[in-house]
Amino acid sequence: MIHVYPHATPLILNDSIFTQFGGQTGSFTQVQRSAAYLIAEQQTTTFLNAFLLPTTMTGTWGYAARIVTDYGYVSEIKAVNILSKNSIQNCTLQQNSGCVFIWDDTFGYLDVGCLLNYCNCSNYVIPYQVQVAYVSGLPTGVANQPSMLLAMTMAAQISLNEMIYPSQNEGTGDIGVQEFSSMGYSEKRKTLKNNALGNSAKANKIGQLISSTVTPARRTLLLR
């Protein structure tokens, strides 16, 4: 399933927060700064697999006893539709309202076994797909904790530097540098992890800050 990030402007970061947590605005324009803040929040959302603030999303899954939403930290179910195949008709799906239970809110596991009571199932009507509108978002206040704000400030600074001063980042495109030497001095680092924020030492630090604040909602079950 393909999703487009639904927010067009930053939800958390602004010039005040950015500078308070060490960000350098320099000669960057407002448009550039706003873009960097938005990019940082997009990256954080991808890293966490959850939105920073409550956001309504929709998804369609093949019918199963349990499904996994595309984003975690599910706090509310807005609507559920069941699409069923009717063998009497040709290539048509009938729609009925239904319900689901949130089995695990952090990882977005939904129990849909109860749907058989709602879809008017019979020998001729077979559940085919489940459509769910749900709310994903971190608990209140989490996205504004200092570690989160520092992490997003660092991520935004990386993107800003790439716009005008790419040499300020550790490597071209902020790529991770595992080993280097200069004027007789050499250094070899521990293996750098690759995450949604990049693979540089700073990207690893950003990921560490975020993970120390909230558990990423990465799937541990493949149920589709």
The more confidently predicted of residues 148 and 27 is 148
**pLDDT number for residue 182:** 46
pLDDT score recorded for residue 108: 93
Give percent of the chain with pLDDT exceeding 70.
Answer: 75
Of 36-50, 78-92, 173-187, 200-214, least confident by mean pLDDT is: 173-187
| pLDDT tens for each residue of 73-101 | 999 999 998 888 776 656 778 887 888 89
| Mean local confidence (pLDDT), 25-38 | 95
pLDDT of residue 224: 47
**179-182 and 185-188: which strand pairing?**
antiparallel
**Residue 130 pLDDT exceeds 70:** yes
